[in-house]
Structure 1
Amino acid sequence: MKSKNSKTVYSTFIVLTTVAALTACGNSDSSGETSENNTDEAVNLEYFIASEEGNPDYEVFMESVEQFDQEHSDINLQVESVSHNDYSTRLTTQAAGGELPDMFQITPISALQNIVESGSAGSIDNIKDHWIDNGLLTEESFDEFTIDGSTYALPLSTTPTQFIYYDEDMLAEVGYDSFPESYDEFIALINDLNDAGTTPISLGNSSPWVLQSVYISGFADRFTGSDFLNQVMSGEKEFTDPEFVDALEIVEELVEIEAFNEDFNTIDNEQMVDQFMQGNSAMMIDGNWSASTVSENKPEDKNIGIASMPLGDTNSIPTTMGTVSSINSDLSGEKREAAELFLKEVYDKEVFEGFLSLGIPVPSDIEIPEDELDPLSLEMIEITQESEPAPVYDAVLSTGLIDTMENGLQSITIGEATPEEVAEEVQAEVQVEE
């Protein structure tokens, strides 16, 4: 998941003392947190992360970071956080300029390929057995981050990107006591909501990763199957094949029947969630990251349900890894040892359990704490477990392909391109990159 529309980023530096201090910079696009362990003898470590300040999972992760800082007076830790919508632009820019910090998160996952090819990411082959041996991760957990036989990054969470969150009472008002089980019924629901004067679906696509990562990654898999992207890359299939065009036509149809708020290309995904929470729409389509946010912030009298997209004959959900960290290849000696220690102690059992207690799936066999989960998050995890994983496009495809696809999806929504034309543009980019 990524953003192409960057804005000016300002950095401020505060003392890393409490999670409250860490998250107090929510109104800035970028913030730096500097450790109190600032002595001449301390090893300096910089860590660059995608901020979701205010999100419970971000706070759980930063608690682990803060604990590490408090326990290691010999390491001077500086954390710079950048808003999620700006992060991939900053990451790509710094990687291209050879200016990556000591440690950094990878988002989107597809960015890792270029970073590795540029020589900027260091292998973690020598430490990955730490998580395999303690049972927190498996060998397969590292598959997305293994290039030419070496592993370059470490995941914390599993990130399914497509669920439908819906207001049960708003659906009941137009005659739906349960969520539609077929696509035709889903379209009928949208029409009934429009007839009642209710916006059916909140969408925020000003940062155009949303239609790509949340929408088309899921829609397309229901038509193409999960091997499609590999088949395209090998030349067996093309994006111009009818099954992919059919998926693009779903986006076109939803726009044509006025499924979305009118300003969907000018608001972002956070504003989208706000619209839904404020009762300005009956539904929103978003990833697992919204489950805990919705549960914690919804009005007490608001009844929210969750469902998978009723489309096609499969129940696949696009899924990738989240909270992924890597190490700069330039690190050596004490600095490299400090970075490895940071990963081992921050990515520990407690932080995996903390994520799971929030309803965020993790790629390990830790038991789900059902008594600690809110009903919405528990249902989200159950839906995930019952589904087949599908590729998230921007976790697999090149930046050039994703840019072309995201531009094309926006063009479809404003009537400047047809699904067939967008498919041709994306396939042309495949051929350019061959």
Structure 2
Amino acid sequence: MKKKIAASLASVMAIATIAACGQPAENGASGGAKTDTPAAEKVKLSIWHNFSGDDLRAKAVRAQIDKFKAAHPEVELDAQAIPPDGYRQRLKTVAAADEMPDVFFAHSGSGIKEFHDGGLIQPITPLLTKYPDWKNNFTPGAFDPLSFNDQVYAVPINASVTSLFFYNKSLFDKHGVTVPKTWDELHTAIKAFKDKGITPISLGNKAAWLAQSSILSSLADRVTGSDWFLKAAKQEGAKFTDPEFVQALTLLKGLSDAGAFQQGFNSLDNTQMEQYFISGKAAMMIDGAWALTNMAATGTKEQLDQVEVAVLPSVPGGKGDPNTLSGGAGGGLAVNKKLTGKKLDAALELIYTVSGPEGMKAVAESNTIVNYKVDVDQSKVTSLFYKAYNLSKTVKFTPVYDAYLSSQGAEAINNGLQELLMGGKPEEIAKKLQDAQARSLGK
């Protein structure tokens, strides 16, 4: 097993060292710990997650964890909320040491696949079997990016919708600018707002993933179509140096060249970017569904009511469907492979508390789109969320790049886009991604 883990996580160990990050709390990792707990002794359980902020979704998830603690005095729960920007790196560090927490939030797609391939997690299928009504109420395909060999390893806490096109209707109306539906119209709007001294598009790409997840994933799909990307991700019949992908990068660079973004966008995080937009300093923003709960926590009703939401403008001659959003099922809580007995039972019950019907309703009413059929109380959500929620029901979803790329590939394109938006050459960025993805797959 150790050989299998070492082989599967070779790439992780190449970029993370054990000393780079603190180890899990003493009770957090189950390595070597006994799982047979005397009746009088509390079950010790750890959970790591990245719902650390003040947004409503994070508060909703943490509230469900607190409910589990209150309802289960027999469990001594060590819950660690880790900021999202450093979360993946900390998981990679403990994964390389085979010292994972008992329960942890795993990103869907390639994120959870690394832990599965490393033999670090176990199926939660028995939990779904125990609660069939709960299982059957998830939307079609919700488990796909969290399943392997017909076994489910996590259920999505929320949907991953990454490319919502937000625009301030009041600013558009005030300055007589047409809301863009095509790429040419987008550039016309950019110039109009630039001439008025208003930032056209708010961007915060400090953590590097934002431009990739929210803009490139959707823009590139408009140009190449989804089939091309899935082939390129597997390095089977397509390469990231192909002309269509270079064209997508060129279109993205064109936004920066046109002065679409505010100064210092590579030094701002997504929360700062969202605050900049909701305060009326920018006319547009391309962001994920997480912005709905973030802006609901900071924006006034007046500010939220003037924001509209749509899909990214279409690209002339593109091979992809323009009526799409990049996204799909989000991540969920996974269970350490080493857990057995009462500790495993407690872990599964914790997952059900967070991700069960009550938890799903709480997350949805925190202004978060979920992969679960739930009746949202419109009085408990913002008007902006309700617009996005309804929009998500009318479109198709296309792949998010970092859900299918290897860790090396995702890192290459994330860093590459920071370079691209500061004047880098599209062909060079494409080659860096191609080399990294091919190398990670041994091709």
TM over 0.5: yes
Secondary structure in structure 1 of the residue aligned to 2:328 = strand
Q: Deviations over 1:230-257 (max 9, x none)?
A: 2221512221222222211121100100
AA of the residue aligned to 1:75 = V
Partner of 2:338: 330
> What secondary structure is seen at the aligned counterpart in 2 of 1:359?
coil
Q: Is the 8 A contact 1:319 1:391 kept in 2?
A: yes
Instruction: Pick the structure with more helix per residue.
Output: 2
Deviations 1:114-161 (CA, angstroms, capped at 9, x unpaired): 111221111223223345433332673211111234322221211200
Q: Does the aligned pair in 1 maintain the 2:161–2:327 contact within 8 Å?
A: yes
TM-score (normalizing by structure 2) = 0.85
**Cα 1:132/1:141, change in 2 over 3 Å:** farther
C-alpha separation in 2, matches of 1:96 and 1:10 = 13
User: What is the Cα deviation at residue 200 of structure 1?
Assistant: 1.0
Give the conservation status (yes or no) of the 8 Å contact 1:88–1:108: no
The 5 A counterparts of 1:168-317 are 168-176=169-177, 179-232=179-232, 233=234, 235-302=236-303, 303-312=306-315, 314-317=322-325
Unaligned runs of 5+ in 2: 1-14, 26-38, 316-320
Q: State the 1:40 CA deviation.
A: 6.1
Question: How far off is 1:342 after superposition?
Answer: 1.4
Q: Which sections of structure 1, spanning at least 5 residues, go unmatched?
A: 14-38
Q: Which residue of 2 aligns with 1:148?
A: 149
Q: TM-score, normalised by structure 1?
A: 0.87
Residue of structure 1 in register with 2:33 after alignment: none
- Give RMSD over aligned pairs: 2.5
- d(CA) in 2 for partners of 1:40 and 1:9? 34
- Are 2:206 and 2:266, in contact at CA under 8 Å, matched by a contact in 1? yes
Q: Are residues 1:353 and 2:361 paired?
A: yes
Give distance in 2, aligned partners of 1:301 and 1:148.
Answer: 49
In 1, the alpha carbon distance for the partners of 2:201 and 2:41 equals 55
**Aligned CA distance change for structure 1 residues 12 and 270 (closer, same or farther; 3 Å):** farther
Distance in 2 separating the partners of 1:81 and 1:58 = 9
Q: Is residue 24–residue 100 contact of structure 2 (8 Å, CA) maintained in 1?
A: no
SS at 2:199 equivalent? coil
1:235 and 1:420 map into 2 onto residues whose CA distance is: 20
Number of equivalences? 404
Structure 2 Cα separation of the partners of residues 380 and 140 of structure 1: 20
Cα distance change on mapping 1:214 and 1:5 into 2, 3 Å: farther
Query: Structure 1 residues 12 and 327, CA, compared in 2 at 3 Å: closer, same or farther?
Result: closer
* Mean Cα deviation higher: 161-170 or 72-81: 161-170
The yes-or-no answer on 1:425 pairing with 2:428 is no
CA contact (8 A) 1:130 1:344 kept: no
1:166-208 residue CA offsets vs partner (Å, 9 max, x unmatched): 22222223212x6222221111011011011111111111110
Taking the aligned partners of 1:320 and 1:396, their CA distance within structure 2 comes to 12
**CA displacement at 1:286 relative to structure 2:** 0.9
Mapped partners of 1:200, 1:108: distance in 2:
32
CA contact (8 A) 1:87 1:107 kept: no
Are residues 1:366 and 2:374 paired? Answer: yes
Residues 1-48 of structure 1: per-residue CA shift (max 9 Å, x gap): xxx999x978999xxxxxxxxxxxxxxxxxxxxxxxxx9611000000
**Deviation by residue 1:52-77 (Cα, 9 ceiling, x = unmatched):** 42111111111111111111111111
Matched to 1:422, the amino acid is I
CA deviations on 1:380-421 (whole Å, 9 max, x unpaired) are 012111111011111121101101111221121122x31122
Please tell me the residue identity of whatever aligns with 1:173.
Answer: K
Aligned 8 A contact 1:5 1:86 in 2: no
Are the aligned partners of 1:141 and 1:363 in contact in 2 as well (CA < 8 Å)?
A: yes
Question: After alignment, is 264-273 or 142-151 more displaced?
Answer: 142-151
Identity of aligned residues (%): 28
> In 2, distance between residues paired with 1:249 and 1:359?
34
Q: Which residue of 1 aligns with 2:394?
A: 386
Structure 2 CA distance for aligned equivalents of residues 5 and 260 of structure 1:
33
Partner of 1:123: 123
Is contact 2:164-2:289 (8 Å) kept?
Answer: yes
Paired residues for 1:52-71 under 5 Å: 52-71=52-71
Deviates more, 1:290-299 or 1:266-275: 290-299
Distance, in Å, in 1 between the alignment partners of 2:16 and 2:55 is 22
